[in-house]
Every structure is written in C-alpha cells, then in structure tokens.
Structure 1
Amino acid sequence: MLQALGLGTAEEAVYTALLARPTASAHELVRQTGLGESAVARVLLDLSERGLVVVATEGGDRVPDPSGGSGSARSSARYRLTPPSVALAPLLVEQRNALHRAEAAFTMLTEQYRSTAAHPAGSVVEVVVGREQVAHRFHQLQRGAQRELLMFLVGEPSAVAREDADISESSALDRGVDFRVVATKDYLDGPGVGRDVREGISAGLEIRLAESLPLKMMVSDRERAMVPLDMADSGAEPSAIVVHRSGLLTALVQLFEREWAQARPLFDTSTGVRAEPVADDRPTEGELEVLALMLAGVSDRRVASQLDVSIRTVERRTRRLMDRAGADSRLQLGWHAARAGWL
C-alpha cells in the first residue's frame, strides 16, 4: 500500500507495525516484523530522515541520532510515528507531481509520434500480426482505458482467450470505466458466455443484443480502436489494425453509437439473461436500493457512499432503471416505479 508513496517493503512493514501501537522499541519491531536488527535499524533511520518517525522521550520527541551512542541506549529507545496526515502529505504531493510530469511526457511523445514525417500512415493506422502480439495490444488498450470502452462482439473470441478478456473487463469496471458492449446472438451461444455476461451486468457492464454486426471492434476512450482482420485462410496468423485519433476513428465511434441505439438491452433476471424485459420484469435488488434512496432525495454521491459502490455504478443502475421504465427523467422514473409497484 505505502509502496505507491515511495516506501519499500521493509519500510512499510516497520511503519505498519508502529501504526498498531503508540510506541515500540527496535527489539519489539524486530519480533513483530521478522526483519533483522540491522535491517530495522536502517529502516528506522530512513523513516526518521523522511520525518515519518521520531524517538519518544519524556522531554519531548526527537529525531533518532544516526551515530546512535551506545548499543544499549539505542535498543532501549522507543519510537513512534509522526502523525500520518502531516508526514505522508509531502510524499503524496511528490507522487502526484511525478504522475503529472509523466502524463505531460506521455502527451508530448504521443503528439510527437503522430507528427513525425517518417510515420505518416503509422500515425493513424498500425498493423499488428500474430496471436501473442494481437492479444498483448488488446490488453494494452483495454487496461489503458480511463473513461470509456466500446466493444462489438461477434462469434467466438479467437486471438484473445475469453478468460483473459474477462480479467481485463473486471479491471476496467473496477476502475469505474463506462463499459458498453453490443453482441450478436452467436457470441452468446459460446460455452460459459451466459455466466460471464451475468457477472458482467452485475458489475456494471452494459450490454445489448444485435442480429448482426459488420465487424469486431474495441474503442478505448475514443482515442484508439482495434479491429481484427478476418483472413480467408484459416491457417493464417491472427492480425488486427489499431486506429488512432482520426476521421476513421470518428466513423468507427459513430458506427458503434448507431448499432447501440438500435440494439436490444440485455437484462439479468432470475431465469437468465434475456433481451427486452416483459411487463412484470422487476429491477435487480441493487437497482431497487438505488431507486429507494434516490426517491428519498439522497444525492448520487451519498447513495454511492451508503451502498459502498462507485458513483459510476449508481449512475449505471439509474440509467438501466430509466431504460426499463422508458423514462426520460428521474421524475418520470419515480412515477413509473410507483405505478409498477417496484417499491
């Protein structure tokens, strides 16, 4: 946990050990962490130099003396943490600044790559060949999404094993990424796909069903898209194109939105996943919890806090409720919920 703030494994072990008690001696920390005496001594000195640890004395706290004095004096000293809200704040600011610098460098390098005269075509479209290369690029785009993922699913997955794709899907949903999928009927016929779809819907995945789709596709943050290439020769290696920001990418996004608008929503019900719910189809328990709090006048942020879910999950459940009710506003949703006896 603290490694994200620049602390090593040993430093985190000593820090968390001190966190559980008011004060502790070096010997007590050795027993509690399982580290050697010299390792604990080095860690305490390092933490003190960072301002995270002080020596607790009757006359007031002081920073540990690097020279130490006698061995007995060092072993009898008791250490305590500086208040984390004070001591860890500079480390957090430092890591945030480093991330901002990394983002700035990323943007600069991306723009420089796009504008390089030596790669006029490659700045828009790149070709990826080989099963491992295609799978690697797929995961890069999916795991790199920060806001939105759009996907067409057609037939059985090939270049990317479905269980690997499921891991990336869960990771995206956990990060609060808005994930929308349009799938064809033949995709849902695959073994185990129905179970995965139900789990995805429960986690916040939005999925709709189409009779047919023109291609397989994934769009990440509307910045990049990946389109597998169908090869006539079944023995040929899988290949795909990655489309970067351009008029072609805009056309792919518009294609997705058109198919999404025409596709039928899929819902997770007690009898399985099905499209176009019947009139007596009730919302899920999670959706009813959101509805009850929303009708009580609780804000989305407070609803998310009370239910221990992300605010994106609250927004997704609200949108699914409105789709079920055919409502254009939350006022209409409340009227439909009362009329249908949802609460």
Structure 2
Amino acid sequence: MLQALGLGPAEEAVYTALLVRPSASARDLALQSGLGEADCDRILLDLAARGLVVAVTREAVTAAPDPAGGKDVLPPSRYRLTPPSVALAPLLAEQRNALHLAETAFSKLTEQYRTTAARTAGGVVEVVVGVEQVAHRFLQLQRGAQRELLVFLVGAPTAVPRADTDTSESSALERGVDFRVVADKDYLAGHEIVQDVREAVAAGLALRLADSLPLKMVVSDRERAMVPLDMTESGGEPSAIVVHPSGLLTALVHLFEREWAQGRPMFTTGAGASEEPAGDQPTAEELEVLALLLTGFSDRRAASELGLSIRTVERRVRHLMDLAGVDSRLQLGWHASRVGWL
C-alpha cells in the first residue's frame, strides 16, 4: 500500500504496526511485525530521519529503577507516528509530480516517434519477427491498453504463453478496459478452451462468435493494431505487423465493429438466466448449450466443448423448448432472441 510512496515492505510493516499504538519501542514492534529487533531499530531510525516517526528521547521517559539497587536504568527509546496527513502528504505530492513528468515525457516521445515515422513510407506499419518478439509485442499492446481492447481470435489459440495471456487479460479487466472479442467457432476447440473463455466472460470480457474471420488481430485503444502474418508455408519465422494511426488502422477498427455487430453473443446469462431452475427461467448452463447450438454446433460437438454427455445436452435443449413453449429448435432460437435469453 505504501510502496508507491517509497516505503519498502519491511518499512511498511513497522509503520503500520506503530499505527495502532500510541508509542512503541523497537522490541515491541519486532514482536508485532515479526522482524528482528535490530532491523526494527534501524528502520525506525530511518523513518525518523525522513520525518515519518518521532523518537521519544530517553530523557523524556521516566526512568525505571534498577532491580539491583544501582543507578536507574533508562528504558529503550520509544517512537510515535508523525500524523500521516503531515508526513505522507509531501511523499504523495512528490510521486504525483514524478508521474506527471513521466506522462509528459511519454507524450512527447510518442508524438516525436509518430512525426518521424510519418516521414517514411513504412512508418504506418512496423514488422515484428520471431516468436519471442511477436509474443512480447502482443502482450505489450494488451497490457498497455487504458480504454479499449478489440480482438479477433481465429483457429487454434495464439502461441503466446497461456499464463501470460491470462494475466494480461485479467489486468486489463481490472483496469476497467472495455474488452471485446470476436472468435470464430473453430477457436472453441476443446473443453479447456471453453472453460477459460467462460471464466474470462464471467470476469467482464464480452464475447461474440462468428462463423469465420479473415484474420487474427488485436487493437489497443484504437491507436495501434497487431496482425500476425502466416509464414508457416514458406518455412519462415512467425511474424506480425503493428499498424500505427492511419487509414489502415481505421479500416481494421471498422472491420471489427462490423463483425461484432453480426456476431452471436456467447456465454452470457442474459436477463432471464438463473443459476438454479426456477419457474419459467433457464439456467446459465442451459443457455451455454443454446449459444453453441445457435452458432451451428452439433449436439455432439457442443457436448464435447462443454465436457457433457450428449444426453445432457439433449435434456437441456428439451427443457428450454418446454420453457419457451415451442416444438422446434428453430422456434427456440427465435424465442430466445425475442425474450433476451441471449
């Protein structure tokens, strides 16, 4: 919590331990924080030098009598916090100023790069070659997005390590990024992928499915796009192009919006979905089956993708038809669209 203000983990532990006490010695804080007494004493001296705590001097503390009858023994120095509103405010202002300077430098460098790149014919498109370089740039675009991510998923999952992809997706969703994905139906190949996609949708990702897509793509904040190049037939290394602001980037965004408008929502519980069967409302699991079937999946493939038996899929479809009061799957699809199940 306080590391952004320049305090390390051990310093924060001592500071927060002292926060709940009127005053304390290094020995007291060592017992409370789990650090060594010598470490606490060193940290307290450093915090005092920075004005975050105040040392209560030995002369200011009433001396304790020596049990042996000798001279009085001075107790160890104790410390108390300087009011955080006074001590931490300058640190906060310093960090804000540093961030402002960094943002200003970032804007200048970005603009300078765009100006320089615009002078050359190849400035609109940057070529990235090699597995590591492509993966690094993909994650760079995804993690750098502040407002919006638009993604096409085609065929088999990307070569970017799954753990890195999951982390960057979670980070984008936690930042409040509008994360929209259109996937072709071949992308959902296997129960593991379906489960990953389902969890991402539950976390806030918006997903629609298309019968086919012309290319893989990620667009970050409508300022940069990345499109992998298929080099497998020629035996070359995996490569991709990064598209900077231009008419080409605008065209890619328009392509995404068109496919998004025509795509079918996936793994959405809809306004009428419930976790348990209740009255005339479908369950989330039943709507998952319906979404796959409306995409064109057979009962067998839907069962495989969801890790279910065919009988379970058929039973859920039959229950949905009963809820809708229809006799055919075509009527079921029309009813689901009309009442907002999907």
TM-score by length of 2: 0.72
CA distance in 2, matches of 1:20, 1:144: 39
CA distance in 1, matches of 2:226, 2:169: 16
Q: 1:265 deviation in Å?
A: 1.1
Q: Which residue of 1 aligns with 2:195?
A: 195
Q: Which residue of 2 aligns with 1:213?
A: 213
CA distance in 1, matches of 2:152, 2:118: 33
Q: Which residue of 2 aligns with 1:27?
A: 27
Query: Percent identity between the aligned chains?
Result: 70
Q: Which residue of 2 aligns with 1:128?
A: 128
Q: In 2, are the aligned partners of 1:224 and 1:249 still within 8 Å (CA)?
A: yes
Q: Which residue of 1 aligns with 2:313?
A: none
Q: Which residue of 2 aligns with 1:254?
A: 254
Q: Which residue of 2 aligns with 1:315?
A: none
Q: Which residue of 2 aligns with 1:89?
A: 89
CA distance in 2, matches of 1:121, 1:148: 28
Q: Which residue of 2 aligns with 1:308?
A: none
Q: Which residue of 2 aligns with 1:298?
A: none
The SS at the match of 2:266 is: strand
Q: 1:36 deviation in Å?
A: 4.5
Aligned amino acid, residue 108 of structure 2:
M
CA distance in 2, matches of 1:60, 1:109: 55
Q: 1:58 deviation in Å?
A: 12
Instruction: Determine which of 277, 280, 285 is the counterpart of 1:270.
Output: 285
Q: 1:60 deviation in Å?
A: 9.4
What is the 5 A alignment of 1:1-343?
A: 1-56=1-56, 76-116=76-116, 120-121=120-121, 123-233=123-233, 235-268=235-268, 269-271=284-286, 272=288, 274-275=290-291
Aligned amino acid, residue 139 of structure 1:
L
Structure 1, unaligned runs of 5 or more: 62-71, 282-323, 327-335
CA distance in 2, matches of 1:273, 1:176: 29
Q: In 1, are the aligned partners of 2:155 and 2:186 still within 8 Å (CA)?
A: yes
Q: In 2, are the aligned partners of 1:26 and 1:41 still within 8 Å (CA)?
A: yes
CA distance in 2, matches of 1:135, 1:145: 16
CA distance in 2, matches of 1:162, 1:36: 40
Aligned amino acid, residue 270 of structure 1:
E
- After superposition, the CA RMSD in angstroms is 3.1
Cα deviation code 1:19-78 (max 9, x no counterpart): 2433211222234345455543332232223332123589999xxxxxxxxxx75x6222
Q: In 1, are the aligned partners of 2:232 and 2:238 still within 8 Å (CA)?
A: no
CA distance in 2, matches of 1:83, 1:274: 59
Q: 1:172 deviation in Å?
A: 1.0
Q: In 2, are the aligned partners of 1:152 and 1:215 still within 8 Å (CA)?
A: yes
Q: Which residue of 2 aligns with 1:318?
A: none
CA distance in 2, matches of 1:172, 1:60: 53
Q: In 1, are the aligned partners of 2:226 and 2:240 still within 8 Å (CA)?
A: yes
Q: In 2, are the aligned partners of 1:208 and 1:260 still within 8 Å (CA)?
A: yes
- Segment drifting more, 83-92 vs 111-120: 111-120
- Choose 1 or 2 for highest CA Rg: 2
Cα deviation code 1:148-189 (max 9, x no counterpart): 110000000243133432221112111111100001100012
Q: In 1, are the aligned partners of 2:129 and 2:240 still within 8 Å (CA)?
A: yes
Change (3 A) 1:188 1:90: same
- Segment drifting more, 108-117 vs 201-210: 108-117
Q: How many residues are aligned here?
A: 276
Aligned amino acid, residue 231 of structure 2:
M
Change (3 A) 1:28 1:231: same
The SS at the match of 1:88 is: helix
Change (3 A) 1:199 1:60: farther
Q: Which residue of 2 aligns with 1:64?
A: none
Q: Which residue of 1 aligns with 2:277?
A: none
The SS at the match of 1:157 is: coil
TM-score by length of 1: 0.71
The SS at the match of 1:192 is: helix
Q: In 2, are the aligned partners of 1:173 and 1:205 still within 8 Å (CA)?
A: yes
